[in-house]
Amino acid sequence: MSKVAYYTEEGFKKLKEELEHLEHVERPRVTTEIADARDKGDLSENAEYHAAKEEQSLLEFKIAKLKNVVANARIIDESQLDTSKVLALSTVKIKNTANKMEFSYTLVADSESDFKAGKISVNSPIGKGLLGKTVGDIAEIQAPNGVMKFEILEITRG
């Protein structure tokens, strides 16, 4: 069962560029390596050949997986997002009720997440805990050291 993932226009473009690179640059390179190794003689004792075949197998798996992600990707029109509740691509300002620290996160697809840039996956524990909440709600999120409570202070788009 394939999972639908939501992407920004930019994130979807990056996915397609990576797939294009794998199919049109990496695949021909590996095919050439296999052919070169095959030309060297006895395949049963040819480490280069076996390494190239292994690389080909991993590359084909990666291409298939990425094709599946692209096929199930949906592009979100950010101008149409509802800012009354937390959704994918919402930027949420939250306050930890225990220590009063405030944070801002943008909820994105798994492949676009970048914690240092403030982009967290909608499938992360915090992301899941924030989805559907509105300003003023308290999100209770299970963490390794217990339940953390975050107050939703503000919801904006990207």
Angle between helices 47-71 and 27-38 (to 10 degrees): 160
CA dist 158 and 141 (Å) reads 23
CA dist 88 and 130 (Å) reads 10
- pLDDT, tens digit (0-9, with 9 covering 90-100), for 89-121: 888 999 999 899 999 999 888 878 888 989 998
With CA atoms as reference, report the closest residue to 112 among 62, 60, 75, 151.
Answer: 75
In this prediction, what percent of the chain has a pLDDT beyond 90?
41
Longest dimension (CA), the chain: 71
pTM for this entry: 0.61
| Structure token digits, residue 120 | 């967290």
